[in-house]
Amino acid sequence: MSEEITIKKKVTRKGDDGYKIVSVRMKEELIQRLDSLSVSTNRSRNELINLLLNAAVDIVKIEE
């Protein structure tokens, strides 16, 4: 019995969905606040972080 099964390697396509993975260190207190907000809004922590960062980037002021 010398049958073979051929399986092609899966092509990894990073960023296909327009997102990239980013690792961020946060204080436990902030994570707890995000988790509380997550429960209150029925949104994932990831979704909230993206919403909050999008809003913050638009209103940031740089001082020199």
Q: Kindly report, residue by residue over 34-63, the tens digit of the pLDDT.
A: 999 999 999 999 999 999 999 999 899 999
User: Is 49 a member of any domain?
Assistant: yes
Burial 33-48 (b: 16+ CB within 10 A, else e): ebeeebeeeeeeeeeb
Alpha-carbon distance 6 to 19, whole Å?
32
Query: Which has more pLDDT, 16 or 35?
Result: 35
Using pLDDT thresholds of 50, 70 and 90, give the confidence band for residue 17.
confident
Q: How many structural domains is the chain composed of?
A: 1
Domain ranges, residue 46: 28-59
For the cut 80, the answer to whether the pLDDT of residue 16 exceeds it is no
User: Is 38 a member of any domain?
Assistant: yes
Which pTM was predicted? 0.68
User: Is 35 a member of any domain?
Assistant: yes
Alpha-carbon distance 19 to 7, whole Å?
28
